[in-house]
Structure 1
Amino acid sequence: MKLHRLSRTYILDKAGINTAKIVSINGTLKWEPVMILPASGLPEKAVFIKSVMADVNENSKRAHFMAMIDAIFSGMMLDDFSKYFANSVVKYKVAHSFKHAGKTENLRELKHGNKDRIYLYPYTGKMGRFVFFFEAAHKNQQQTETAVKERAEELIKKVIEANL
């Protein structure tokens, strides 16, 4: 499994946001933002980047997306980044739970606005602390879509089994 480190600027650029006009966030990340690369090894072919380019395609969606990205990157400067969301307009919650190897695993989501989401998986292992970015979505329904859950479960299992 190959990982690609993500920067805030790279993600926002893929969403069509002019990064020359954004305010920088200063500080040291205590979590490493990553995505899993596809077999091709090309970041632009990864599900996360493809979903960003497809679903973050208008100004209101970009505004919600930027708020979520700013929140997670600010939160990743804390040891327990979930605490950052206690008083935030961006919500951080469980999107889906499942059992694997006798343990409950949680796919998490960032939520801003009624329909905009980013699906994440925080993981702490022997190589450090990671936040895996799986997918961006503009939901058409209340529940997390089955296809999103299935893709995320498969990726979470790969992360756990890789024992990073």
Structure 2
Amino acid sequence: MKSSLILASLLSFALAGPLSTRDEDPCACDFFCVAELEAGCKCEIASKNKCHAAHQAAGLNCPEPSISEACQPFAILHVSVTTTTASPTATPTPAKKGEECGTFRGAVCDSNLICVVEDPLCADCAGVCQSDQCRGIQNIECPGGWECVVDEDVCGENGNDCAGRCEIKSEARARL
């Protein structure tokens, strides 16, 4: 009777105290589970999941835990390791004419539009989407910091009536 009481006391002390991990392997997970097959396997799986999660939180690149051979029939319990994966980033909708563009968020203008900012070299400044068309019959000028580039192969050298596209001035582009 005394030996049972002593054994029970020691067992409860052993169950209450955490087991130290081995110094030689930072990915080692020591745990203690009751020797009942089903309950022991649930304990093993839960312990290994908890240990692996702690390793990930500590920044260790440890392999996923494996289930002991005795618990293989309980593989339906799968050692699920929760990982945090980045959510897919939604493709931003391009801004329409007259809408805000630029800034650190990287809002881009729709096709055939340019983001006009007071200072074209300011990467974080907000601008407004405007048409990239210039010259042509209406003789449209580009905004400050932009120049009208006309396709001379199509219009010839004196293509006053030809439309062009506004592009950042060459000297401004060289400073980027």
TM-score, shorter chain, exceeding 0.5: no
Structure with the larger strand share: 1
TM-score, structure 1 normalization: 0.20
Structure with the larger helix share: 1
Q: Which has the higher contact order (CA 8 A, sep 6+)?
A: 1
